[in-house]
Amino acid sequence: MRKQPAAKCFSENGNESTIARPKSCKLRTALSLLFIFSLFYGGLVFMPLKAQTIHLIVFANTNDPSLVLQKGMAETRDNIKTEITEVANALNLNIREAVLSGDDSNVFYLWNIIENLDPSADDIVFFFYIGHGINKPEIDSKWPQLSFAKNNHDQSKQLISFSEIIKKLEAKHPRLLIGIAEACNALDGRIEYYEDQILGLASLGYTQRDKERLKELYLLSEGTVLSSSSEPGQKSYVSSQGGYFSSAFIDAQKDLTSISDYADWTTLLEKTKLRTQTLTRLKTKNPRRQIPQYIVNVKGRQRDFKWKENFANKENIYTQQPNNFTFQHQVQTQQFLVAKFVFFADHGKVYYVMPDNYVTEYNPYSGLQVVGYRIAALQPQIFQYDLISYYNPYQFNRWGVDYQGRIMKWDQWVGWVMVGVVYY
């Protein structure tokens, strides 16, 4: 009989702890207690329980014959872990992690982790799943059923409803519960590989996170935030760089907690939704349709700011160069980040658009600088608006932004060529 590998998890300080895989019903109770003990108290330094804690639970169903899917789901697992760890460190919060994948992403560990979860009344629980999912309208017409099967040929078995998981987590009464499922929500239920590379994905130039924005999301919010990566009837897509939805989520959260003067969960998930749609439809020859869904039921600061409507209003766009435009003028006060432009060349060059329609660029030495503005399109039958970006006080580039959010440049040999993308 083949010896099964040991299960690995992460303790409170991030170190791996190893336990034997359960072999009989008699051992399961004892081993589950050992598992939970080593999972949450295996760190070298014990953190006092009275301090606020983020309980991070991540399941990645990486057992898939596709090497791209294996890598992409593993990347997503690691990216989520890294991002939430950064949040905890920035806010000086304790973090307790249960990060499982492969054979360890199973029902036994799922229910034991939840059963032994004991958050205080001021704690945060962040649950994230990436893997195969399926929509079963007779069980839950909105949220997917998540697969905890050990192999790809058994995906229809060991299905657990996302809503059932959330119900059990809500019964633990944390101050804030965030539940996210990156999985297909279609009837056939297989998460799909799309591209080796997510076109238009760019790292944020900022390295400093704004604690006030992170507080708005994680400390000043109370309630439940739920999201899945696709609506009922839709698939979800993964590249070798990670899931399209999770990449958009992390990207939007970094933007709102680094540059913007404001952040809340509705804004974050709406931006995640829009960016996921943009990322999956960029390929003109083989676009995909993936629209995330979410429910935000939290108490906290909620801003009544119609940033999407204002940005789409063509009356707000400049018709000529603004009178007060000054190239490389430093932005003195924080503003809400409406959108960003990512160019495929130049290692993913990024510009940020503020509510005043000025285009800014991040300088690591002086912060945000004004480098351009949005202006009315020269060819409105093709473009929503044009983008002006100066590269010295007297010379500038001009691009058109079409109605799909693609940044286009004219090439005399081939016509209009996509050179970048707009993310809202």
Q: What is the per-residue pLDDT across 313-347, written as a single tens digit (0 to 9) for each?
A: 888 899 999 988 999 998 888 888 899 898 887 65
> Mind giving me the DSSP string for 180-202?
EEES--SSS---EE--SS-TT--
Q: Which residue has the tokens 């239920």?
A: 189
Rounded-to-10 torsion of CA 113, 114, 116, 117: 110
Q: What is the pLDDT of residue 199?
A: 58
The three-state secondary structure class of 315 is helix
DSSP letter assigned to residue 238: E
Q: What is the pLDDT of residue 310?
A: 82
Q: What is the pLDDT of residue 112?
A: 97
Identify the H or E element spanning 407.
strand 406-411
Kindly state the average pLDDT of the residues 280-307: 80
All domains of the chain, ordered by start, with CATH?
Answer: 47-299 (3.40.50.1460), 313-423 (no CATH)
Q: Which carries the bigger pLDDT value, residue 203 or residue 121?
A: 121
Task: Assess whether pLDDT exceeds 50 at residue 50.
Answer: no
Q: What is the pLDDT of residue 233?
A: 93
Q: What is the pLDDT of residue 41?
A: 38
The three-state secondary structure class of 21 is coil
Greatest pairwise CA separation for the chain in angstroms: 79
Bridge partner residues of 61 (DSSP): none
Task: Assess whether pLDDT exceeds 90 at residue 291.
Answer: yes
What is the DSSP pairing of strand 124-130 with strand 176-182? parallel
Bridge partner residues of 409 (DSSP): 417
The residues, any chain, with a CB within 8 Å of residue 225's CB and separated by 6 or more, are: 176, 177, 178, 179, 265, 269, 294, 295, 296, 297, 298
Q: Looking at this protein, which amino acid is placed at residue 380?
A: P
Q: Is 365 exposed, middle or buried (0-12, 13-18, 19+ CB in 10 A)?
A: exposed
Identify the H or E element spanning 296.
strand 293-299
Bridge partner residues of 130 (DSSP): 60, 182
CA atoms within 13 A on the CB side of 187: 2
Rounded-to-10 torsion of CA 324, 327, 331, 336: 80
Identify the H or E element spanning 75.
helix 67-90
Q: Which carries the bigger pLDDT value, residue 50 or residue 225?
A: 225
pLDDT band at 10 (very low <50, low <70, confident <90, very high): very low
The three-state secondary structure class of 311 is helix
pLDDT band at 149 (very low <50, low <70, confident <90, very high): confident
d(CA 7, CA 99): 11
d(CA 82, CA 87): 9
Of these ranges, 91-95, 242-246, 282-286, 368-372, the one predicted with the greatest mean pLDDT is: 91-95
Kindly state the average pLDDT of the residues 378-391: 94
Kindly state the average pLDDT of the residues 227-242: 92
DSSP letter assigned to residue 104: G
Task: Assess whether pLDDT exceeds 60 at residue 417.
Answer: yes
| Percent with pLDDT over 90 in the chain | 56
pLDDT band at 424 (very low <50, low <70, confident <90, very high): confident
What is the DSSP pairing of strand 367-375 with strand 383-392? antiparallel
Q: Which carries the bigger pLDDT value, residue 291 or residue 364?
A: 291
Task: Assess whether pLDDT exceeds 80 at residue 196.
Answer: no
Q: Which carries the bigger pLDDT value, residue 380 or residue 201?
A: 380
d(CA 261, CA 87): 17
pLDDT band at 51 (very low <50, low <70, confident <90, very high): low
Q: What is the pLDDT of residue 53?
A: 97
Kindly state the average pLDDT of the residues 97-101: 96
Q: What is the pLDDT of residue 152?
A: 57
Kindly report the average pLDDT of the chain as a whole number: 83
d(CA 48, CA 12): 12
Q: What's this model's pTM, rounded to 2 decimal places?
A: 0.85
d(CA 377, CA 419): 17
